[in-house]
Amino acid sequence: MHEYGFSGLLDRQNRTDLAPLTLASGQPVAGGEYTIKSGGYYRIEINADGSQELALSGGDFFRAIWINEIVIEDIEIRPMGVHSIEFDSAGTARLSFIAVLPGRYTLSVPGSSGDTLQAVFNIQ
């Protein structure tokens, strides 16, 4: 049994901040694979430097998690579903979510095939 407190699973004390993702021309998206647990509450930032219009796409990943919110410039978005997040210029998006379905999932730059242009999430 877990004791989550008044706010339940979404209490800040239950949240784990993951290493940020980077969208920059010629740079790797992630520093390595992420291993997270089903039922865990996570937050990750996606930082774009504006060097190129880039997106991260991953319908399978987004269907394997429950998104609490996406925050962009202090605007909180609570979507029913997401397929991709695209940056036309420099900025940061912060995604908070609960991992749900175990498996191996990727977020990748559309049209890319290189391992450095993707982030791999292993949900246990």
**Residues 72-123: pLDDT tens digits?**
999 999 998 899 999 999 999 999 999 999 999 999 999 888 899 999 999 9
Look at residue 10 and tell me whether its pLDDT is greater than 80. no
Domain containing 118 equals 16-123
Total-model pTM: 0.89
Count of structural domains, the chain: 1
Q: Is residue 8 included in any domain, yes or no?
A: no
SS3 breakdown of the chain: % helix, strand, coil, rounded to 5?
10, 45, 45
Q: Is residue 65 included in any domain, yes or no?
A: yes
Look at residue 2 and tell me whether its pLDDT is greater than 60. no
Take residue 36 and report the two structure tokens written for it: 């997270």
7-30: average pLDDT: 88
At residue 5 the predicted structure's pLDDT band, cuts being 50, 70 and 90, is low
**CATH label of the domain that carries residue 34:** 2.60.40.420
